[in-house]
Amino acid sequence: MVYDPLLHLTNGQTRMANVRDQIQMALAIADSALLKSLLSNCLPPIAASFQIGTISSEVSVPVKDHASADGILQFEAIRCVLASSPYLESPSANSSRTKDSKELTRLTQHESEMHTLAQNLPLAPAIALLTSSGFQRDQIQDILRLPHYAWYKSWWHAIDTNGNFTMPFLRCIRTFHYPDGTLTLQYKDFFEQEKPDCFTTLPQKILITIRTDTQGFADTLQQINRQREALNIKKAVLVCHTVSELEIQAFTKQHISLYPANDLILPVQASCERCGRHECPMNHRVNSPVIMCRGFLVEGELL
């Protein structure tokens, strides 16, 4: 068996009887911090925490004629962020001006097509959209007060698949106002090589599968692949108690990340005096201060 700080290897005596129910309840009621942990603390990570925007979960998702999926995480993957750029500063010397001009030309040599960020949107939702994109209050006022066909220019960074910031690109935004009080926001990007693939975020779905102790590698992989195909989801997180080093390599090669089940089991009201976990130092202590515990198990329920 392999030891990894993310995958706590446990034996049968430390598991709770309804692990699947416990984990699904945790997914159903969990706050965003726990759901983000599933994506950023799995092995290998799906996304870094700063790349995860809004996130939500579904449990017991129907899958055609097969058994329902344990869960699905839906999140907004942050792909573009506002950046401060030294190229916006006015150079003080002719030599610097020439150098910066060449650098600016290199960074903006390609132009994207025109995109519509919002169509006939009321003012309040438009402000909320720009705020969630990272613009400050004064920047939003400048964007919304633009003369007809004028452009607001800002520098941005894209985030690559490894979580690294790319070279900056220039984004130009314009606003059209209509008599009914709504407005339309359009933008286009000027970049060096790779065109940004969204304004700020892209929607993503991740399959969550809870592995039981009776499932072998082949059965688990077959279940995940069947559900990924039916739900049109590429990546998956496998929640499990025990895993061998060979299984870790095999699952990760199949684009399946691993996450420790213990981190998702909800704490329950505990009584150390009646607990069957004999390896715990608080076991059978009458005056134990422990009230809630993730691993509490009545002695008669030991597997």
Separation in Å, CA 14 to CA 1, 240, 301: 17, 13, 11
Q: Give Dmax (Cα) for the chain.
A: 84
If DSSP states are collapsed to H, E and C, what string results for 157-177? EEECCCCCECCCEEEEEEEEE
Tens digit of pLDDT at every position of the chain (303 positions): 343 444 444 433 334 446 778 788 888 887 788 899 999 999 999 998 888 999 999 998 998 877 789 999 999 999 999 986 444 443 333 333 344 667 777 888 899 999 999 999 999 999 999 999 999 999 999 999 999 889 999 999 988 777 778 888 999 999 999 999 999 999 999 999 889 999 999 999 999 999 987 889 999 999 999 999 999 999 999 998 888 899 999 999 999 999 988 777 666 666 787 787 777 888 888 788 876 676 666 665 444
pLDDT at position 269 is 65
Q: What is the DSSP letter of 43?
A: B
Tell how strand 236-240 and strand 256-260 pair up: parallel
Tell me the two tokens of residue 46: 């799906």
Tell me the two tokens of residue 170: 């220039």
Residue 106 sits at the vertex; the CA angle it makes with 103 and 112, to the nearest 5 degrees, is 135
Separation in Å, CA 6 to CA 14, 112, 125: 17, 42, 41
**What residues contact residue 229 under an 8 Å CB cut-off, 6+ apart?**
none
Q: Decide if 230 contacts 66 (C-beta within 8 A).
A: yes
Distance CA 87, CA 75 (A): 33
Alpha-carbon dihedral sign for residues 187, 193, 196, 197: positive
Chain-centroid distance of CA 231 in Å reads 18
Q: For the chain, how many residues are written? A: 303
Tell how strand 268-269 and strand 292-293 pair up: antiparallel
